[in-house]
Amino acid sequence: MAHRIEVSAKAGFPDPVASGILRFAQSEGMSVDGVRRIRVYTIDHDLPPATLDRLARELFADPVVEVAAVDRPLADASDFSHLIEVGFQPGVMDTDAMVAQDAMALLGVPLGNGGAVYTSAQVILQGRGLTKEAADALAREYLANDNIQRWTVTDAAAFKEGRHAYAPPRVVITREPRVETVSLALDDPALVRLSKERSLALSLAEMHAIRDYFAGDAVLARRTGVGLPSHPTDAELEVFAQTWSEHCSHKIFNAQVTYRESPGKEPQVIASLFDT
């Protein structure tokens, strides 16, 4: 059974994130008069009420400035127009949830095999003229990245009737995994298009390097020897994209940088800012 712990700022205490959402919505001409934000921790494991209350008090909420609720909503349907809940898609790394699970173990509440924690955030929107379409646009344009996140939009009437549904993002594989081979014997525009269509975020030079690597005689011989196709698989391409990403390899800081201290001085060429 999954349990939800919801946390929000107490009345009178500022929430800068909520204030930023309000400013953006109003700058876009949306009929939003107020915003409240609620952090949600979904614990996908059966725990006794006393343990959940302890976690809410000692781990998830700051009792000085925040309020928490266990297995009941903090949102009040009489006080909002629409509620947006944003969380990660199944299989996407949820760092806050991982830290929460580690902290729970330190407090003597390990989840063990099969248990998990997921995080999400509710954005409560006040505004009589706000439509569901506008709330969905706010989620899509400002609150979420649809490559890695998902969201639901619920109006006050549906919420009051208990029709706000946000299921834990469990990974459920219902079909046999399929591995594709991807030909890199392409011209430059096609390589750029391939990188974009598969969300690889690889430059043309990086696509050239991968193509040339897989076209090498030694690599082709090794792949044939272990029964791999000559072309890379989609999984192999994704490995390159992940490990060569800015997030993992910090390409900006590792790049060759040309730096000039002031006008008239000779430029310096720095190979990786990490070495300075």
Q: Would 182 be classed as within a structural domain?
A: no
Q: Do 83 and 127 have their domain in common?
A: yes
Same domain for 147 and 220: no
72 Cβ contact partners less than 8 Å away, ≥ 6 residues apart:
6
Higher pLDDT, 113 or 76: 76
Whole-number pLDDT of residue 221: 97
Q: If pLDDT is split at 50, 70 and 90, which confidence band does 274 have?
A: confident
Do 153 and 54 share a structural domain?
A: yes
Per-residue pLDDT for 219 more than 90?
A: yes
The rounded distance, in Å, linking the Cα atoms of 79 and 156 is 8
Instruction: Please give the distance of CA 266 from its chain centroid, rounded to a whole number.
Output: 43
- CA 273 vs CA 117, 247, 250, 268: distances in Å: 37, 16, 10, 12
Half-sphere exposure of 187 (CA within 13 A, CB side): 1
pLDDT at 205 over 80: yes
Burial 129-149 (b: 16+ CB within 10 A, else e): ebeeebbeebbeeebbeeeeb
Same domain, yes or no, for 48 and 132?
yes
Encoded amino acid at 94, one letter: D
CB 134 within 8 A of CB 30: yes
Residue 41 lies in a domain: yes
To the nearest whole number, what is the mean pLDDT of the chain? Answer: 94
For residue 178, being part of any structural domain is answered with: no
pLDDT band at 146 (very low <50, low <70, confident <90, very high): very high
Q: Are residues 139 and 214 in the same domain?
A: no
The verdict on 99 and 202 lying in the same domain is no
Please give the span between the terminal C-alpha atoms of the chain, in angstroms, as a whole number.
52
Per the structure, the complete domain to which residue 74 belongs is given by 2-160
**CATH number of the domain where residue 61 is located:** 3.30.1280.10
Tell whether 156 and 197 lie within a shared domain. no
Same domain, 110 and 244: no
The whole-number pLDDT of residue 18 equals 97
What is the DSSP secondary structure assignment for residue 143, as one 8-state letter?
A: I
Quick check: is 252 in a domain?
Answer: yes
If asked whether residues 221 and 104 sit together in one domain, one would say no
Put simply, whether the predicted model's pTM sits higher than 0.85 gets the answer no
User: Is 167 contained in some domain?
Assistant: no
CB-based contact 9:3 (threshold 8 Å): no
* 7 found inside a domain: yes
Over residues 38-70, the pLDDT tens digits come to: 999 999 999 999 999 999 999 999 999 999 999
34 located within any domain: yes
Same structural domain, 152 and 38: yes
Question: In the structure, what pLDDT confidence band is assigned to residue 218 with cuts at 50, 70 and 90?
Answer: very high
- The reply to whether 192 and 155 lie within a common domain is no
Phi, psi of 162 (to 5 degrees): 80, 25
Tokens linked to 269: 């060429």
Residues 135 and 217 in one domain: no
Task: Transcribe 45-107 into DSSP letters.
Answer: S---HHHHHHHIIIII--TTTEEEEESS-S--GGG-SEEEEEEEPTTS--HHHHHHHHHHHHT
Residue 37 domain flag: yes
Give the total number of structural domains in the chain: 2
